Structure 1
Amino acid sequence: MKKQFSVPSMSCQHCVMAITNSLKQLKGVQDVTVDLDKKTVDVDYDENIVTESAMINAIEEVGYDVE
């Protein structure tokens, strides 16, 4: 399954790495692609293992708001 999140507060490679690392720690997340220009995060995941709210929490835990 794929889900795209809008993360408007991302501004640099540090943001990209923090969000990517946080999401990849979740069991069920298969791939994370961040587009810094569009300020989006695309996640490929197994919906039977990880929830959308868990992914949002992972992004917010490292200091970024999800819209």
Structure 2
Amino acid sequence: MTSSLTTIDLKIEGMDCGHCISTVEKAVHALPGIEEVKVSLSDNNAIISFDAALTSQDAIVEAVEDAGYDVPR
């Protein structure tokens, strides 16, 4: 089985505390195929590794936005 692991650096606006970090991490980890999520408050971003065969960047963006944060496009 070949893994189609993809890593994206997603800008996220609206995070201002540790609770925001865990909210974003929990929202993204709820998706299938998520391998790793590293959210940085100081950089206002998340570096996310995922299996592109199981989820998409659009689904990740939607999960972050549904959690209450903005993802500039």
| Same fold, TM-score > 0.5, yes or no | yes
- What does residue 41 of structure 1 align with? 46
Runs of 4+ in structure 1 off by over 4 angstroms are none
* Higher-Rg member (1/2): 2
Matched-pair identity in % = 25
Aligned equivalents of 1:38 and 1:3: distance in 2?
A: 14
- What does residue 20 of structure 1 align with? 25
Root mean square deviation, CA, Å? 0.6
- Structure 1: state its 5+ residue gaps: none
- Structure 2: state its 5+ residue gaps: 1-5
What are the residue-to-residue correspondences of 1:44-55 with 2, within 5 Å?
44-55=49-60
Aligned equivalents of 2:11 and 2:39: distance in 1?
A: 10
Aligned equivalents of 1:16 and 1:30: distance in 2?
A: 17
TM-score by length of 1: 0.96
Per the TM alignment, residue 8 of structure 1 is displaced from its structure 2 partner at its CA by 2.1
Aligned equivalents of 2:14 and 2:30: distance in 1?
A: 21
SS in 2 for 1:43: strand
